Structure 1
């Protein structure tokens, strides 16, 4: 982990599911829930991931967050390390890819609470991910959080071996 990530303490970990469709790959992404992303598509899709602290490994956090965000057990299978990326806000995200198939209709997303509208004093609940969908790699590049596109590159490099 980089010194800046350690300093700001913002670390996330997640799992990128992929499946083969003929000669190509598809990846499972989730559209971030809540009012800030409701009308956005490009840059509003992410791997299922979440923050963790010093008392948890990145791998354990990735599996926990998968369960929390999708409401499903993380799949078994070979975990391909995809390394780290730094997102615009400084958060460092660590990810692994796992080959698995999952029906997006089976997802029961976790939720979070926040004051909305801001300054109203009213707390509302929103889904962590309001949609989950399979994307071809090229289409995924157009919608995923820009820094996370590095994970798509690394998955593609791994598959070319």
Structure 2
């Protein structure tokens, strides 16, 4: 079974919470917006913990590190329609979303052209209010935002 791990970054701006979401790169996602954003995440195997994978993937997709010192609040795992399990942690940290540096992947593009083209895994990152984020995020990951909201309202 496939599994992914990621980080839901959040910050407080004038008593409101904002979350960082990333938009997948590549030609398939080029003109897609609502429902296509995600937390920075990626697949991992049993050779590393979900927590380690979440930190590694965040660095690979944004260029920013989540250090051991930063508190990672565990969120409830979600299961996507495909059956893939996604583990996530919420971390309070402010980064410059315009300064992300993502790793790249190669695919044949255009299809059946025989040409390999390189695309960034993530083409952009943005901070969103919780309301905006709920519209932008892949619906299977919306539970992470809802849970973060509940966790922060209890504090």
TM superposition score category, shorter chain reference: over 0.9
SS in 2 for 1:82: strand
Is 1:74 equivalent to 2:66 in the alignment? Answer: yes
Partner of 1:14: 6
CA distance in 2: counterparts of 1:133 and 1:150, whole angstroms? 19
* Structure 2: gaps of 5 or more residues: none
Matches for 1:4-153 after TM superposition, within 5 Å: 9-75=1-67, 76-153=69-146
CA distance in 2: counterparts of 1:83 and 1:111, whole angstroms? 29
> Structure 1: which 4+ aligned runs deviate by more than 3 Å?
none
SS in 1 for 2:29: coil
Name the TM-score, length of structure 1 as normaliser: 0.91
| Count of residues paired in the alignment | 153
Q: Deviations over 1:122-149 (max 9, x none)?
A: 1111111101000000000001010100
* Structure 1: gaps of 5 or more residues: 1-8
CA distance in 1: counterparts of 2:12 and 2:126, whole angstroms? 15
CA distance in 2: counterparts of 1:141 and 1:117, whole angstroms? 32
Contact 2:5 2:54 in 1 (8 A): yes
